[in-house]
Chain A
């Protein structure tokens, strides 16, 4: 990850799009300061939440923030749930730690949270173990735990990738409802541009650890500026647009350990110029609120 910057308003949803290894997940882990050490390190920059810099917090302060203010939903619900404890026990632990709820009040609150993510007969579900629930139900439990705070920021990292289509649609609808109710901001990591079109206000496209383009969803989908974004949108099959061949992107995603000098997309870019191979393009705005990193959009000096 290199020089990633973005800001998020209250109740806003930012989509973070990119291929595997583009830095989407690292960006999320950096926000909650959970990057795997010592392999990765946050070497510079600042992360602000409600005006407080998260990079100067102590580890214990950070843990409280992760418990209350920032919540995460990951792709595989079983990476968030412990298979040997009942749903009720797992939900009560953070409620005791961060909200001081114990006994009957904790059970009541846990059941209320399950009800708010529309899990039927929540009292019975509290006694269930994760393996007794379907994938969609498990992800709902993770959702219920995530909104316990309630959080100011919810980071959802491919939350529906392991779910079936109709269950995915239900879950996305549920997340939007919870967001409207609790006014949290959301960072939505996905490689599915269709989900971005449906759920996000703004979108940031990442390539090889950098945000190469960022802007409002409609603008980015109708007037993509970066050749990577354009190629990505053109390479995806669409309903009814019966085309013989899809516009494929040549080459392979780059090896992050051996990034080319200059723009990382240059070796695959159809519009590549000499300058792209030597100098990394600066961030430029095409219109207010829509930025890109591409020499095509840098006004000639």
Chain B
């Protein structure tokens, strides 16, 4: 596979742009499920991903990371808002256009034990996307599978084996090879190493970095491990209860977080360095239910710096210290 310099050259428009994405889910409430309530899983979320770069998405469970990734993957349609891929509105492309978009956006999930069909040989697993979405014949598919396996560092003979014959790290390589089959421009990596042993994680992270350099592919990287996100990402977006509270250049966000939630999150991240300066923000309370999010800034009930204004007025994202922050402090 040849590198794609065009992916980097196309500088004017970002590869992917999400504008004011909102996704509501109706949930049934009450003993008989007659009344309904609306969960705003994702609320007015905007970001861009440039070609060949990684956007890290962090936040705790229920913050809307997964819903965001499902919107990007085309598995859900946004309630309002626009996703633009290379400048074109994805949902205005028509069926054929949407199908093409889905070829360009692939995913690798957390658990390589669940994401690979145990009854299929690895060759068939990796070739599966090619059967429907490419004009390659059987011989062409075999060549492409061999190419892909080499790309992810698996031996050729892997094609005839079954997933159970591989370790967790190798299975994740198989999942990556399958995701690469249709030469995607963006891969959603949802916790790609958290199911793996610590000593194996670095191998897979290095492979992903290497593939990005060789193929110019972009990543949307979702993980709980903030140090891994910091290592992999060019940009980091921090979400809390469906909204982005801070987004900016990865080192800026990780090393000098501005939003009180980002500060608390990175303070809780347990750095390896014993002498790393630590901020002493420990949050009290838990994340409120997304069914009844607090008014104003959704973080204000847990925020040590909350002011009267925070309970009534939703803070907009504004530039502060070289990144965007949604907080009334700034």
Contacts and interface: CB of A to CB of B under 8 A. Distances in A.
Given A235-B199, A253-B199, A165 B268 contact: yes
B31 interface: no
B114 interface: no
Contact of A236 (B167, B198, B264): B198
B227 A242 contact: no
Interface stretch (A65-73, A143-151, A178-186, A192-200): A192-200
B226 A165 contact: yes
Given A192-B270, A246-B202, A248-B203, A237 B60 contact: no
Tell which of B201, B231, B283 has the most Cβ of chain A within 10 Å.
B231
Of listed B198, B199, B205, B283, residue having the most chain A CB within 10 A: B199
A295 B267 CA distance: 39
B284 interface: yes
A247 interface: yes
A165 B287 CA distance: 11
A249 interface: yes
Interface string B270-285: 1111101000001110
Interface string A142-178: 0000000000000000000000111111100100000
5 contacts: A217-B274, A236-B198, A243-B231, A249-B199, A253-B200
A239 B270 contact: no
Given A194-B269, A195-B270, A240-B251, A19 B286 contact: no
A244 B209 contact: yes
B213 to A, nearest CB: 9
Contact of B269 (A165, A167, A222): A165
Contacts of B267: 169
A206 to B, nearest CB: 12
A248 B227 contact: no
Interface residues of B, number: 43
A20 interface: yes
B63 to A, nearest CB: 9
Nearest to B227: A237
A60 to B, nearest CB: 39
Interface of A: 19-20, 134, 136-137, 164-170, 173, 191-195, 197-198, 217-218, 221-222, 231-233, 235-240, 242-250, 252-253, 268
Given A165-B226, A166-B265, A253-B199, A233 B251 contact: no
Contacts of B255: 239-240
A137 B285 CA distance: 10
Nearest to A173: B282
Given A166-B265, A166-B283, A197-B270, A235 B251 contact: no
B293 to A, nearest CB: 16
Given A164-B60, A170-B283, A197 B202 contact: no
A203 B275 CA distance: 17
Interface string B241-277: 0000000000100110000000011111111111010
A165 B224 contact: yes
Interface of B: 60-61, 167, 169, 197-203, 205-206, 209-210, 224-228, 230-232, 251, 254-255, 264-274, 276, 282-284, 286-287
B274 A197 contact: yes
Contact of B274 (A19, A221, A235): A221
B199 A197 contact: no
Given A165-B265, A232-B199, A238 B272 contact: yes
Residue from A164, A195, A197, A222 with most neighbouring chain B CB atoms (10 Å): A164
Contacts of B271: 194, 197, 238-239
Contacts of B232: 237
Most A C-beta atoms less than 10 A away, residue of B255, B273, B284: B273
A239 B227 contact: yes
B329 to A, nearest CB: 19
A115 to B, nearest CB: 15
A197 B273 CA distance: 8
A16 B150 CA distance: 37
Nearest to A134: B286
A197 B228 CA distance: 17
Nearest to B213: A244
A279 B60 CA distance: 47
B57 to A, nearest CB: 14
B268 A166 contact: yes
Nearest to A252: B167
B282 A169 contact: yes
